[in-house]
Structures are given as C-alpha cells and as structure tokens.
Amino acid sequence: MVTEIVGNEGVSKAAAQGENRAVLVWKGMYEPGDRIRFQVEETECFYVVQVDDVMGESLVYLTAKELEFEIPFEEKKTSYNPKAFDGELHYLYIRRARPEEWEGCRNLALNPMDQHGDRGCYPHAWANVETRGEAVFAARNAIDGVTANASHGAWPYESWGINRRDDAEFTLEFGRPVDIREIVLHTRADFPHDNWWIRADIEFSDGSVEQVSMEKSSEPHPFSIKKEKITWLKLKNLIKADDPSPFPALTQIEVWGQEV
C-alpha cells in the first residue's frame, strides 16, 4: 500500500509504501491543490487512515483501490480544527485494520475524513441541500465525531444545515450491509437562533421507514431501532417546531451496530 502527497499538477511531493501499512512523515507546508493519495491492493475490507495527526484515525471500508483526500484551504477549512493541516511537519498513514477494531458493536456512522463525492470510502454522508454550499453546513459534518451543538458556524460548531428547505434529506451510506441497533441524533441547540425538529422519518435500504419524535433539547436523542443488512439510511420529512426561527440543523448522527 502507498501513502503519497500529490501537488496541484500531479507531481509527487513525498511517498511511503509498505505491505500492511504505509507511514509518511513529511516536512513541508501544504499548498492549495495538494491532496493525499492512498493506494491499496485489496478492496471490500477495512483500513485505518490518518490524514492529519490533529484529526486522528478513521476506520473506513474501502471499495476502491485509490482514495484521495483534498487538503482544505480558506473557506473549506472552516469545518476542521484550525490546527489541522497546518505547520511544516505532518504524520499520516494507512494500515490494515485489525479484526477487533471492526468486529463488535461500534458507531458505524463515524468518519472524520469524509468529503464530497463518491470516493469508494465509507461511511459517507451526502444531502440534497447544504446551506449556501458552505463547508460549515456540509453533510460530512454530521459524521465527523464532533458533538458540540451550543452554537453554529466554524469548528467545533459545524453542522448539516438545510437552507430552510422543507424537503431536505440526509443520506448515510455504509458501503456494505450492517446490522443496526440504535440511532442517536444530536440536533443543533443554538437557541434562540435555532429551531428544532419535532418529528422525522428514517428510511432504510430495505424499504422500511421509522418515524421518530424529538423535543427542544441540547441533549442527544437516542432511538432503539433494530435493522438487519442495511446498506444506507435516509433522514427525511423533517418537521420543524412552531417557533419563529427557521434554522433547525443536525450536529451529529450516530448509528450503533455491527457488521453482518
């Protein structure tokens, strides 16, 4: 496998390779257009990836032999810790995941390195609307593991924003079948700026739909929902409370379960 930093014109700046892991320590400053490229020989399996030591590890399921992560700059970086991708020394890697890392019950939605587009890397979040196309309101924010919901805007208060759309839908793809036992929604609670949802539907890849109810709260909303062999779920039919604010939002979704 290979870990590589590629410049704007496709020129390799640094690379490392290995059979079961590829650890790269690079001394240099990232520039606009830079991206991190990972290459593996085997797909349909789990890897642990770190694109920046500030962000930590992501346990991901890869269905493609090549994965690229675009280094965020300016507005695109506002949804990340400002210390990430900064400075002149960077520690990044990819390695094969150990069975005990992906077996057993865990949060199947967590992926801090998720980005726009189908990259063959799961879990992956996308939506039919993101407020003004801004990074701080992108769907990926709802699976990055950051649950601070007392405000809105730049990290650590990034969220999925719906741009006041009544038909807003959020989709979470797992890339393979999984068994689900609980779903937890962290709704944004920047009151009185924010509204909140009192009801929502969660549709699953097997065609079933579960309706959930929520209330005005900064606490997580847990729902005991058991589903088997699910490849994706969709949050839709979001009903706002009768409140003057037009701004409900989702800070985080957790999906607790295990591999089939």
Domains identified in the chain, total number = 2
pLDDT exceeds 90 at position 223: yes
Same domain, 129 and 8: no
Q: What is the pTM of this model?
A: 0.96
Give the pLDDT of residue 202.
98
Residue 55 domain boundaries:
2-102
Give the pLDDT of residue 157.
98
Same domain, 89 and 125: no
Task: Indicate which CATH number applies to the domain containing 148.
Answer: 2.60.120.260
Last residue within a domain, chosen from 102, 121, 143: 102
Name which residue leads in pLDDT, 248 or 9: 248
Same domain, 161 and 78: no
Last residue within a domain, chosen from 57, 83, 102: 102
Residue 185 CA to residue 251 CA, distance in Å, equals: 8
Q: What is the DSSP track for 80-120?
A: S-TTTT-SSEEEEEEEEPPHHHHSSSEETT--TT--SS--S
Give the HSE-up count for residue 94: Cα atoms under 13 Å, Cβ half-sphere.
30
Same domain, 81 and 143: no
Give the pLDDT of residue 8.
87
Same domain, 225 and 141: yes
Mean local confidence (pLDDT), 82-87:
97
| pLDDT per position as a tens digit, 56-72 | 999 999 999 999 999 99
End-to-end CA distance of the chain: 27
pLDDT exceeds 90 at position 44: yes
| pLDDT per position as a tens digit, 88-132 | 999 999 999 999 999 999 999 999 999 999 889 999 999 999 999
Same domain, 62 and 186: no
